[in-house]
Amino acid sequence: MFQNNPLLAQLKKSLHAKTPRAEGIVKSTERGFGFLEIDMQKSYFIPPKNMKKVMHGDRIIAKLKIEKDREIAEPEKLIEPFLRRFVGKIEIKDNKCFIIPDYPFLKDLIICNANKILLDNLRTGDWVEAQLIKHKLKGDQIFYAELIKKIAKKNDSMVPWLVTLARHNLDKKQPSVQKNDISFQDTSNRKDLTHLDFITIDNGHTKDIDDALFIEENSDGNLCLTVAIADPTAYIEEDSRLDVIASQRMFTNYLPGLNIPMLPRYLSEDICSLNPYKNRPILGCQTIILKDGSISKNTNFFLGWIKSKAKLSYDNVSDWIEKSGAWIPENKSIANQIVLLHRLCLLRIKWRRLHAILFKDSIEYRFDLSETGQVLNVLVEKRRIAHKIIEESMIIANVSAAELLSKKLGFGIYNVHAGFDSINAEHVVSFLKNYQLKFTSKEITTLPGFCKLRQVLNILSNTYIDSRIRRFQSFGDFSIVPAPHFALGFPVYATWTSPIRKYSDMINHRLLKSIIQNKKARQPNEEIKFKINDQRRRNRIAEREVSDWLYVLFLQQKEYRDNKFNAEIIDITRSGMRARLIENGANVFIPGTFLHSVREELHFNIEKGIVLINGSVQYQVSDIISVVLQDIRLENRNIIAKPNF
């Protein structure tokens, strides 16, 4: 009698409309309950019974209700599942196959199926790729996944790399191309510079060498620098199969202990690599560096042949310049090249300190791995003078290329950085007033004003102030039209010096060649910058995840368990602090419970990067504190530490 009653239907619709709802992301906890996170400030409690319908990370719409005087969220509609295609570990129980997703807050077994051949080849603990095909909030009785393929056996030494690459759908091997498919395609006239004493300076283990340098002093005392860059586009036709593959990969993916090249190794490490005593085609840039360190407008780009006379390492060159170590250049000509390059480097550093932005010296960490992938040690590598020589030379070449592309074409692949937007500029000005630093928002949104601010901050050398200011800065980006790079301090900047590692540099190579040869250039489309950004982001996440995995394996060893470490606080979160161990670069998390026993007296100010106890600042970003490792969790690759009071 009530089944088709229009009044009842209208009443239900009215009640439905009056029930408040909210859309957000599900955040689960280890204790079974969860929260519907609307934004950084607002969240709703999800009871354990309701959490059984959803997964951590799901975007949902939930009804908001009052239960026992508490506002709760009841999941109603799935907007976007957290799991789609995912990786996890297999568990075989009672002749049934289950998968545990490899995510920190997803611990429940998901039943799954696969073809018989795949199932017969699986054992508990093996890693697989799967697709979630049933979800409880979509009306299904269970969560259900379909296995796609096996990634690795449980005890495979390559698990950290294979699982991470599979998770982000990244290539695991070099492009599959036959050597006889690759041939020298270029018929251009090239300058023969094989008699000149070009040298390369790289890490000792580098095989894909893409830049070589030659320098001489002119009669007027100015320095003439020639930067020669490997020329893979001489072998790769535009729109060819290999070119399409490179455009999809975008970068050589450098992971700890493993790199997956953008181009076949036969190209990147052999016939294109600027190996010593080998004739190689190059794209060159010759420019004059004046006595004040500025770049002359008289820059020449050309195609040529070179033959590198020496493959040098950063450490050996730095030792020789610093008059330490036993290494010496093999002849006077190479020694003279190093001396002149050192002089150029110092001139450019002085010029950039006054007119642009100079980088602070940084520390890098490198895993020392055995042949089976075991972490033997973590090595600390500092930027030394030889690194700076190459850096300054490449900056000269990239600035010169950007100016030429802008002048002749008006397009290319430009590296850009917007500095501060108008709102963040106001925040910066307000923050700086606390330290008697007077700037205006109008001033620091201009390139000269931004440079002045960074120069002042470099002199001040306060890591806390510097970290807060960086939070307000824009992220680096790409543009197909000229635009400033505030973070470097240049009106235009375009890289072309790593074409065997970066596809964007290959694009700029072709554009520079079109100018040299006076040919029509193909303008890149707007979509390319989004593809570059997306691939760069995925590569960086993969690098970080592999590093986190290796750090956990390394620090699990007994000799590190009770060690005290100095750590720099790098971030404040809603529930604790993140810090980096200075000795080896591992990131650790320090929960608030280890900072103070009374939660109500503890306050985390994310915006200011400080931790207050009873209203008094106890910790801030950039502080160096002593910590001990409390817990090392392989299942989610987290390292928990506590202050060593």
584-596 average pLDDT score: 95
Condensed to tens digits (0 to 9), the pLDDT of residues 435-466 reads 999 999 999 999 999 999 999 999 998 999 99
Tell me which range, 128-142, 369-383, 503-517, is most confidently predicted by mean pLDDT: 503-517
Q: Please determine, for residue 40, whether its predicted confidence score (pLDDT) is greater than 80.
A: no
Nearest of 300, 293, 286, 284 to residue 222 by alpha carbon = 293
Q: Which residues are catalytic?
A: 202, 208, 210-211, 314, 501
CATH architecture of 85-156: Beta Barrel (2.40)
Q: How far apart are CA 290 and CA 396, in angstroms?
A: 12
Q: Measured between alpha carbons, how far is 34 from 72 in angstroms, rounded to an integer?
A: 10
Let me know if 363 is exposed, middle or buried by CB neighbors in 10 A (0-12, 13-18, 19+). exposed
Tell whether the model's pLDDT for residue 558 goes beyond 80: no
Phi/psi for 7 (5° steps) reads -65, -40
Query: Residue 151: pLDDT above 50?
Result: yes
Whether the predicted pLDDT of 128 surpasses 70: yes
Pick the residue with more confidence: 574 or 518?
518
**Structure confidence by residue, pLDDT tens digits, 249-303:** 999 999 999 999 999 999 999 999 999 999 999 999 999 999 999 999 889 999 9
The number of beta carbons lying within 10 Å of the beta carbon of residue 525 is 9
At residue 628, does pLDDT exceed 50? Answer: yes
Exposure b/e, 257-293, CB count within 10 A at least 16 = b: bbbbbbbbebbbbebbbbbeeeebbbbbbbbbbeeeb
Encoded tokens for 497: 């010096």
Q: How confident is the model at residue 606 (pLDDT cuts 50, 70, 90)?
A: very high
pLDDT at 15: 47
Q: Is the confidence at residue 238, as pLDDT, over 90?
A: yes
Q: Classify domain 20-80 at the CATH class level.
A: mainly beta
Instruction: Tell me: pLDDT of 2 over 70.
Output: no
Q: Per-residue DSSP letters for 359-394?
A: PPP-EEEEEEE-TTS-EEEEEEEE--HHHHHHHHHH
Q: Which of 168-182, 286-300, 491-505, 586-600 has the lowest mean pLDDT?
A: 168-182
Residue 510 to residues 247, 293, 363, 413, 517: CA-CA distances in angstroms?
14, 29, 35, 11, 10
Domain limits, CATH 2.40.50.140, in the chain:
20-80, 557-643
What does the alpha-carbon distance between residue 498 and residue 259 come to, in Å, rounded to a whole number? Answer: 15
* More confident site: 499 or 120: 499
- What's the chain's average pLDDT? 92
Kindly tell me if the per-residue pLDDT of 16 is higher than 70. no
- How is residue 51 written in tokens? 């959490």
Pairing type for strands 43-46 and 638-643 reads unpaired
Counting runs of H as helices and runs of E as strands, what totals does the chain give?
16, 31
Of 168, 383, 165, 376, nearest to 259 by C-alpha is 165
CATH code for the structural domain at 557-643? 2.40.50.140
Residue 28's H or E segment, with its range, is strand 21-28
Tens digit of pLDDT for each residue in 352-368?
999 999 988 888 999 99
C-alpha torsion 383→386→388→391, nearest 10: -110
What per-residue confidence (pLDDT) applies to 105?
82
Q: What DSSP letter does each residue of 491-544 carry, written as one string? A: S-----S-TTTBHHHHHHHHHHHHHHTT-PPPPPPTHHHHHHHHHHHHHHHHHH
614-638 mean pLDDT:
93
Portions of the chain given CATH number 2.40.50.640: 85-156
pLDDT at 635: 86
Mean pLDDT of 114-123: 76
Confidence at residue 362, expressed as pLDDT on a 0 to 100 scale: 83
The tokens of 522 are what? 């193909």
The answer, yes or no, to whether residue 559 has pLDDT greater than 90, is no
pLDDT at 99: 94
pLDDT value, residue 5: 63
Distances (CA, A) of 347 to 340, 393, 507, 607: 11, 11, 31, 39
